[in-house]
Amino acid sequence: MKQIKKILIPYSLTICIFYFLWKALALALTREVLPHPEDAVGAFILSLATMDFWGHFVASGFRALMAMVIAWVLAFPLGIAMGASRRVDALISPFVFMTYPVPKVVLLPVILMIFGLGDLSKILIISLILGYQVLVAVRDGVRGVHPQYLNSIRSLGANRFQLFLEGYIPAALPHGFTALRLNSGVSIAVLFFVESFATLTGLGYLIMDAWGRMDFDQMFVGILGMSLLGVVLNESANILEKIVCPWFLQQRK
């Protein structure tokens, strides 16, 4: 019950503040430009009963979720290897930190030409952006492990595999989940961009199609749907972190 209150109270306060700000802005502008929040929310609630909305929601959710899984599967072990081995870090980090400042979304035309206009290209560009964040966070987290902690594990007779299992991986997991959680919003932003053209499915397409038809209520249905997707992904990462890293959460308390 306490956990539910911790989640509901902050969200309820945020929704109330956001509602009054939206209402004030809608009153200051014309309805055609910005619908009133109750109209937009009403249209959103009605859309929840339609298969069309859920088709777009599932398409976007699949792309975002697959991108997060791919980013984690590839970047997490590589980040541990870079943080644990100076030789691996010396080999890979120059390439990583040379390409890190480059906005990966500019590679979208190249990825579209190579992998086509389907889901694969959209998933790859999101996973590329998210993967860099996870990689750097995990690498820095592993490098920050105190040597005495590792020496205490070695003194118990741990081999190299056990050192990774008991030392590096527990140290890397909180950093990886933090990067995943904080950048879930980034993945949704990129998802909107890649779904705004060359596709007929997804919440990004729904938003841009409604905007082009000047159907502003439907446009906000897509915006609220994409916001809901971002909340679901963020909270899913939170729940997964609590399950996988209970010791880290105890330390923060």
List the pLDDT tens digit at each of the 253 positions of the chain: 565 566 667 777 888 888 888 888 888 876 667 888 888 888 899 888 889 999 999 999 999 999 999 999 999 999 988 888 888 888 888 888 888 888 888 888 888 888 888 888 889 999 998 889 899 989 988 888 777 777 677 776 667 777 777 778 888 888 888 888 888 888 888 889 888 877 888 899 999 998 888 888 889 999 999 999 988 888 888 888 888 777 655 555 5
Whether 180 maps to a domain, the answer reads: yes
Residue 131 burial by Cβ neighbours in a 10 Å radius (0-12, 13-18, 19+): buried
- Do the domain assignments include residue 156? yes
For residue 111, what is the domain's CATH number?
1.10.3720.10
Q: Domain residues for 224?
A: 59-252
Does residue 159 contact residue 204 with C-beta atoms inside 8 Å? no
pTM of the model: 0.83
Answer whether residue 205 is part of any domain. yes
Question: Could you tell me which residues come within 8 angstroms of residue 63 by beta carbon, excluding any fewer than 6 positions away?
Answer: 119, 122, 123, 126, 191, 194, 195, 202
Based on the structure, what is the number of domains in the chain?
1
The pLDDT, as a whole number, for residue 62 is 93
Centroid of chain to Cα 49: 26
